[in-house]
């Protein structure tokens, strides 16, 4: 489960980086920046739902603060 979450974070950061790249390169003339940010939001929501489902199914357990 840790690997899946780590991969999701890398994809989210990559999408954010591509949005910055398109913003700097296109100067707002295309929809690439908006599309990249929409992908980032979709990945973030999917990660959140995946964590909730994994908790409900018992794949992950809360450990509390240590």
Q: What is the pLDDT of residues 47-59, one digit of tens each?
A: 999 999 999 998 8
CB 23 within 8 A of CB 33: yes
**Residue 29 pLDDT:** 78
Tokens (6 digits) for 33 = 């920046």
pLDDT of 1-53, one tens digit each? 889 889 999 999 999 999 889 888 887 778 888 899 999 999 999 999 999 99
Residue 19 belongs to some domain of the structure: yes
Residue 66 belongs to some domain of the structure: no
Count of structural domains, the chain: 1
Residue 50 belongs to some domain of the structure: yes
CB 16 within 8 A of CB 44: no
Residue 65 belongs to some domain of the structure: no
Residue 64 belongs to some domain of the structure: no
Inform me whether the pLDDT recorded for 60 exceeds 90: no
Tokens (6 digits) for 26 = 């296109």
Range of the domain at 33: 2-57
**Residue 27 pLDDT:** 77
């Amino acid at each position: 489960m840790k690997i899946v979450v780590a991969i999701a974070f890398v994809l989210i950061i990559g999408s954010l980086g591509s949005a910055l790249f398109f913003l700097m390169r296109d100067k707002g003339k295309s929809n690439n920046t908006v599309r990249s940010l929409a992908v980032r939001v979709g990945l973030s929501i999917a990660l959140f739902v995946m964590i909730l489902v994994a908790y409900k199914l018992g794949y992950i357990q809360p450990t509390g603060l240590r």
